[in-house]
Amino acid sequence: MNNDEIREFIQQAIDENNVMLFMKGTPNQPACGFSARTAGALNALGVQYAALDILPDPRIREELSGLSGWPTIPQLFVNKELVGGSDIVMEMFESGELAELLGVEQPEESPEPEPEVAQRPIGLENRLD
């Protein structure tokens, strides 16, 4: 795939999924702590989301950052809009703002999200090889 096709694939993933997480690794096997915390926050809220590992091809990260204007990974999109990276997602999770944005109830206790408890992620097939 060329860079334009990769960018098109990324945009399609954002457009087709109400909650789209671009991360290092997968929700079940995150490859960095920031990605683990972000996936953990989504899992703690029990929302269904799609996730794509950006590690298999460095062009994925380049094109994603070019598209979003956000330099770091993970990147969370909700309803086709960039929410932000791990710090922003965690602040929103702790304040209840993320639950509100996603239309779910904030858990009564807001423990540190557990990345290992991947509840309902949708794996996207990486067709960029």
Give me the half-sphere count of Cα atoms (radius 13 Å) on the Cβ side of residue 119: 13
pLDDT at residue 125 in the model: 53
CATH 3.40.50.1100 fits 3-104, yes or no: no
CA distances from 114 to 14, 35, 103 (A): 25, 12, 20
Nearest to 38 by CA among 103, 100, 105, 83: 83
Asked whether 98 and 104 are in contact (CB, 8 A), the reply is no
pLDDT at residue 110 in the model: 52
Cα 126–chain centre separation: 15
pLDDT per position as a tens digit, 18-48: 999 999 999 999 999 999 999 999 999 999 9
pLDDT at residue 98 in the model: 97
Note every long-range contact of 85-91, with CB atoms under 8 Å and residues 24 or more positions apart, other chains counting: 85/34, 85/38, 86/34, 86/35, 86/37, 86/38, 89/37, 89/38, 89/41, 90/37, 90/38, 90/41
Phi, psi angle pair for 21, to nearest 5°:
-115, 120
Ranges of residues in the chain with a pLDDT under 50 are: 116-122, 128-129
pLDDT at residue 37 in the model: 97
- pTM for the complete prediction? 0.84
Q: Domain coordinates of the chain in residue numbers?
A: 3-104
For tokens 């899992």, name the residue.
43
